[in-house]
Amino acid sequence: MNLRCQKIKNYAKTVFNSYCSSNELLYATQIKNTTTVCTNHLTPEIKLYLINDQCKLWHLPVDQCPFNDPFWAFYWPGGQAISRFILDNYQYVKNKTVLDVGSGSAACSLASAMAGANEVTANDIDPVACVAAKLNAQLNGVKINILSKNILFDDCSNWDVIIVGDMFYSNDIADVLWKWLDSLRVCGKTILIGDPGTIAD
């Protein structure tokens, strides 16, 4: 009975992994077909698959977009500011472990890796963003970890530095983030926040 259960579990795991791999391949193909590699931003050292006005997707109706809210395909101001800051002030991440929350394109993760961080984790709950992060890491020849689960309220014991860029887009999320980040700050974590003035009072 136990052997049969184990075989069923192994089969289910194989099917699940195959499904995930096929989805990842599909996402990767779609990303490459609908974006362009860009360096025209505050961190030209970092190459990113992004959507801009040179892309066909830019001019298509929303209902023809293969992605649901492709926030990862834009290099938002807060993320650009943090990435530039890290590249110019490497001492904040060098030889440290870094968590990039809501990583999107993973630009901040890539900047941290380039600046000498020991280990970097790009975290986003969007599976397409996770694939984009992996592609961008490959594009820049750096190694980062990808984490797709919701990390909010985690004690982040594995990380020294927590990065949050462009995440304060509503009062509700701002309240949650402030409380969580403040608790991490009290525990001695370094918190780096980038936001273009959308943080709620």
Q: What does the domain layout of the chain look like in residue ranges?
A: 2-72, 76-194
More confident residue, 97 or 18: 97
Report the top-level CATH class of 76-194. Answer: alpha beta
Average pLDDT of span 143-162: 95
Cβ contacts of 45 within 8 Å, gap of 6 or more: 39, 87, 114
Model-level pTM greater than 0.75?
Answer: yes
Average pLDDT of span 25-30: 94
Task: Among 34-48, 53-67, 94-108, 173-187, name the one with the lowest average pLDDT.
Answer: 53-67
- C-alpha to C-alpha distance for 20 and 135, rounded to whole angstroms: 16
**Confidence at residue 191, expressed as pLDDT on a 0 to 100 scale:** 98
* pLDDT band for position 63 (cuts 50, 70, 90): confident
Quote the mean pLDDT of the chain. Answer: 89
* pLDDT band for position 3 (cuts 50, 70, 90): low
**Confidence at residue 95, expressed as pLDDT on a 0 to 100 scale:** 99
- C-alpha to C-alpha distance for 141 and 123, rounded to whole angstroms: 19
Find residue 99's DSSP bridge partners.
Answer: 121, 162
Average pLDDT of span 32-42: 95
Residue 101 reports pLDDT greater than 70? yes
**Confidence at residue 15, expressed as pLDDT on a 0 to 100 scale:** 34
Residue 106 reports pLDDT greater than 80? yes
